[in-house]
Amino acid sequence: MGKIEQMSTKCKPNVNQIVNQNKIYSQNDSVSNCIKCELCNKTFNSRQAKYKHKKKCKLSKLKQENKENKLNNIIKKKDKQLTLMTKHINKLNKLLNRICDFNSFTESNKITNNNNDNRKTEINNTLTNNTLNNNTLNNNNQQVKINNFGEEDISYITPEKRKNLLIDPRNSIAKLIDDTHFNSDHPENANMRIPNKKQPFIELYIDNSWKIFNQYKTICNILRDKKEFIHEIYIKRKDELTNKEKENYLEYKDRLDRDLFLVKNVLTDIRASIMSGTRYRPASDSVIKMLNIENENDPTQKLLDQIPESFLYENDSSDE
């Protein structure tokens, strides 16, 4: 009995208390695990502490800065894309304008070529029906004597037209050639022609017959001759021009003496004028000498010496 009493007096653990303590511990642990910063993983005992921390969290600031940087980068990319698109649109608009201008230019050329073809047909018919030995053409029942090349009568070119040659110097040489040799009202000056653009020859009317000359050298001489003629007009009529018109003319003349690219363009214009105009034109012994002599003192001649003769015929092989 004494042993039994002794055993009964031993302390018995409170199981409920242990279980409750474990529950409290596990709950506190889960709560503390839930209340943590999503950026730096720091834990807190309350949501208020976490809220205060997030305002000062460095990672939170970095994340916000990263977002702003990404947004700025996206905006910059969009701006670049917009700029490129604007440039492309401007290029397309320019190309479209060029196409429109080219179409209108082509239509006007068709009309001009039709007129030239009609004019050529008339002259061909008159040449067939008349004697070339008498150096005459029957044009609209009128007897017209063809002038030798270099001896054209240009008294019909009015002072106003001559002044316009100075106002528009870039096209002055081509205009002067058209007015002199391809004027439908003055067929007596129709004294030069290029019968075949694929051949390097030009025909000039000299002493009652057509004579063949080197096309390139002849066109070079025409350029120099017309340039000097226009400059003589400038010397006589410069007082009638404004300061701006004088400046433009002198600047163009200076470029024509030193700009190789410009000289090539003018040579091409001269050849185009001859080919598109009436093809029956003419010269004399003095003119022949002029065609065979190169003026070494002319600054334009130095540029002409740098241009190969084949330059004028480069694009002919691609044409039909």
pLDDT: is 11 or 144 the higher one? 144
pTM of the predicted protein model: 0.48
User: Residue 101: pLDDT band by 50, 70, 90 thresholds?
Assistant: low
Q: Which pLDDT score is estimated for 70? A: 83
pLDDT of 45 > 90? The answer is no
Q: Which pLDDT score is estimated for 32? A: 46
pLDDT of 275 > 80? The answer is yes
Return the structure tokens found at 242.
């404004």
Residue 206 burial (C-beta neighbours within 10 Å; 0-12, 13-18, 19+): buried
CA distance 272 to 81: 45
Exposure string for 58-92, b = 16+ CB within 10 A, e = fewer: eebeeeeeeeeeeeeeeeeeeeeeeeeeeeeeeee
pLDDT: is 291 or 59 the higher one? 59
CA distance 67 to 72: 9
pLDDT: is 260 or 124 the higher one? 260
The lowest-confidence range among 126-130, 139-143, 221-225, 273-277 is: 126-130
H or E element in which residue 315 lies? none
pLDDT: is 312 or 85 the higher one? 85
User: Residue 110: pLDDT band by 50, 70, 90 thresholds?
Assistant: low
Show the CA angle centred on residue 316, arms to residues 100 and 184, nearest 5°.
70
- What average pLDDT does the chain have? 74
Q: Which pLDDT score is estimated for 77? A: 84
Determine the residue type at 194: I
* pLDDT tens-digit map of 185-222: 888 998 899 888 888 889 999 998 899 999 999 999 99
What number of CA atoms fall less than 13 Å from residue 160's CA on the CB side?
A: 0
Helix (H, G, I), strand (E, B) or coil at 205: strand
Percent of the chain with pLDDT over 90: 31
Residue with tokens 């039994």: 4
Q: Which pLDDT score is estimated for 76? A: 85
Q: How many residues does the chain have?
A: 320
Q: Are strands 136-139 and 209-214 parallel, antiparallel or unpaired?
A: unpaired
* pLDDT winner (highest mean) among 15-19, 113-117, 187-191: 187-191
CA distance 307 to 97: 33
